[in-house]
Structure 1
Amino acid sequence: MIQVRQAQIKDSLEIRSIFRDTIIHVNAKDYSEKQIATWASGAEDIEQWEERINTLYFIVAETENNIVGFAYLKNGNYLDGLFVHKDFQRQGIGSKLLRIVESQVMMNDFEVIKSDVSKTALPFFDNKYYDVIKKQKKNYKGLVFENYLVEKPF
């Protein structure tokens, strides 16, 4: 049974671990070793994660008191992150988190939700009726990452 709740500062370690492990184990098929190492290193920025938890709409999915996924919104309608634990992929957790986030966006009277998604995540969002606005190259810590700007109107 998956429970979803608002993230708390005490969740930071588990959230950062899921972020790092998902990138290393799930996204590795679509990005180079150097890109994966650089991207996963974002887990080490404790202050940034705590700021996200404190200031953004940030939710976690739990099963048996273990966090198995998380999602957070920036600026009301920008999905800035959605990650599911590497051992809990394809079990509906990402879909549940996305539905809750989309509901939050609609409750705040936005007409569209947007996100920059990885090559790995694109099929997931495609299956949820997101449209690709553009393929793009984003610079992160000196490396270029290919990803996609997607959106879904309500």
Structure 2
Amino acid sequence: MDISIRQATAEDLPEITSLFRNTITHINSKHYNEKQITVWASGADETDLWLERISEFYFIVAENETEIVGFAYLKKGYYLDGLFVHKDYQRQGVASSLLRTMESQVMVEEFPEIRSDVSKTALPFFENKYYDIIKKQKKSFKGLVFENYIVKKTL
């Protein structure tokens, strides 16, 4: 698949939040219960927060000719705070392209490593990309507890 990666803009907000909600609802439901999925996906409604991420963080989108098929963003220069791929474009290299771009950006910023909190669903992907698990954790979000993993990779 031929995708291009570019900086996200405020105009991308509807596609980004829709992709976020749909990916969680369709892909992460394998590892999280219905209540967790509903609460997590509701983060798509926080448009001010998304606009802040787009304007303040290193935030990129992957797109084919007609639509955004994935996005990722870095916080603090080295912390991968989000990486999501459209439910219809899983396992087609989109996440790998986004991750390579993020790792390159972290190196340009001269940080020695990249870190992230990753879901149970995403853990195998990160392990295949040579990320080490620092610890398994339980995070509270909107009154619910989510199990995920802190991972890192030395660059």
| TM-score category, normalised to shorter length | over 0.9
Unaligned stretches of 5+ in structure 1? none
Give the CA deviation at 1:64: 1.1
The separation in 2 between residues aligned to 1:38 and 1:12, in whole angstroms, is: 19
Cα shift at 1:28: 0.1
1: distance between equivalents of 2:18 and 2:125? 22
Q: What's 2:11 paired with? A: 10
4+ runs deviating over 2 angstroms: none
One-letter amino acid of the counterpart of residue 136, structure 1: Q
Instruction: Tell me which residue corresponds to 2:105.
Output: 104
- Give 2:91's aligned amino acid: R
Match of 1:130 in 2: 131
Task: Kindly provide the CA deviation profile for residues 43-64 of structure 1, in whole angstroms up to 9, marking residues without a partner as x.
Answer: 0000000000001000000001
The answer on 1:47 being equivalent to 2:45 is no
Name structure 2 gaps, 5 residues minimum: none
Q: Percent identity?
A: 66
SS in 2 for 1:136: strand
Pairs aligned (count): 154
> Secondary structure of 2:77's partner?
coil
Aligned partner of 2:74 in structure 1 is 73
2-side partners of 1:116 and 1:82: how far apart?
10
Which secondary structure state, in structure 2, belongs to the residue aligned with residue 64 of structure 1? coil
Give, in angstroms, the shift of residue 86 of structure 1. Answer: 0.1
Structure 1 vs Structure 2 CA RMSD: 0.4
1:59-96 C-alpha deviation (Å, 9 max, x unpaired) = 00000131000000000000000000000000000000
Provide the C-alpha distance between the structure 2 equivalents of 1:25 and 1:69, rounded to a whole number of angstroms.
14
What amino acid is the match of 2:14? L
Aligned position for 2:144:
143
2:32: which partner in 1? 31
CA distance in 1, matches of 2:154, 2:81: 17
The superposition leaves residues 79-121 of structure 1 with CA deviations (integer Å, 9 ceiling, x where unpaired) of 0000000000000000000000000000000000000000000
